[in-house]
Structure 1
Amino acid sequence: MSDRTTSALAQPMQRPSLGRAAAYLGLFVLGAVVGVAGALVQSGWFPGGLLLALAGEAGLCLGGGRAVGSRGGAVAPAGGWMLAVILLTASRPEGDFVFAAGSGSYLFLLGGMAVAVICATLGRGRQPSGDGARLGK
C-alpha cells in the first residue's frame, strides 16, 4: 500500500515542533489577556464594550487558527480565555468581584463560550496533501 492511499487516521501521531508548541503557548497566554481585558471592558462600556470584548476573542481565535493552520490554534486562545474568565468569576474573601450579577456579565460568559466553540469549529482541519482522488480519472 502506498503512502498516498494510507488514511490520515492510520498514521502515527507526531509530536509538535518546538515552534508550534511555542505558538500554542503564546496563543494561550494571549487568550488569557483578552479574557481579562474583556472582563474589564464589557461592564465599563455596556453594550459596546461587550461587543468589543466578544469581537476581540473571536478575532484572536480565528486568527490563531489561521496562523497555526489547525483547529488547535483556535482552541489554545479559547482555553486561555476560559481559564482567565473562570478565575475572575470567583469572589475574594474581602467581597470584591469582577463580574456583577447582571445580563451583561452573563452575556459575556455565555457568549464568549459560544464564540470559542464557533471559532474552533470553523478552524481549518487537516487537509489531505497531494492530488485529490476522484473517481473516473
Structure 2
Amino acid sequence: MSAQHQPGGWLATPPRPGRIGAYLALAVLGALVGVAGSLLQGAWFPGGLLLALLATGCLFYGGLRATGTQFGVGAPAAGWLAAAILLSMGRPEGDAAFSAGIGPLVYLLGGMVVAVMCATMSRLPQPGGRSGRLEK
C-alpha cells in the first residue's frame, strides 16, 4: 500500500498544484455564494432563505464530491463564513447587509450546520479499492 493510501498518508506527500488550485477556487466560490446568500435571504423571506441554504449545501457537498476529501468542504465553508461574517458586521454609519430578525440568524447557523454535516459524511470509496465490508 502506498503512503498516500494509508491513514494520514496525505500529510507525507506534497500537495499537487491542481489540488491547491481546486481548493482556492472552492474558497472563492464559497465567498461568492456567501455574498449572494446573504443578500438573497433578506430580500425574499422565507423562500430566499431556503434557496440560500440549498445553494450553500450544494456547494459544500459538491466540494466533497469534487475533491473526495473533507477539506473540499472546508475550503468553500471558510470562504462562505468569511463573506457572511464580514457582511454581518456592518459599517460605522449603521449600514449592514443583514437585517434584524430570525432570517439572518438561521442563515448563519444553518450554513454552519450544513458545512459540519457535509464534512462529517463518510468518505467516498476509492477507485479500485476493496469494500470495507467483511466478507462472509
Query: TM over 0.5, yes or no?
Result: yes
Structure 1 residue ranges, 4+ long, deviating more than 4 angstroms after superposition: 125-137
Instruction: Tell me by how many angstroms 1:28 deviates.
Output: 0.2
Taking structure 1 as the reference length, what is the TM-score of the superposition?
0.84
- 1:58 has 2:40 as partner: no
For structure 1, list consecutive stretches of 5 or more residues without a partner in the other structure: none
Match of 2:21 in 1: 22
Distance 1:62 1:133 in 2: 22
Distance 1:18 1:11 in 2: 14
Distance 1:32 1:9 in 2: 29
Tell me the matched-pair count.
135
Larger radius of gyration: 1
Taking structure 2 as the reference length, what is the TM-score of the superposition?
0.85
Name the CA shift for 1:135/1:32 in 2 (closer, same or farther; >3 Å): closer
Tell me whether 29-38 or 111-120 shows the greater mean CA deviation. 111-120
Distance 2:115 2:133 in 1: 35
Distance 2:8 2:114 in 1: 28
Instruction: Tell me by how many angstroms 1:101 deviates.
Output: 1.5
Match of 1:45 in 2: 44
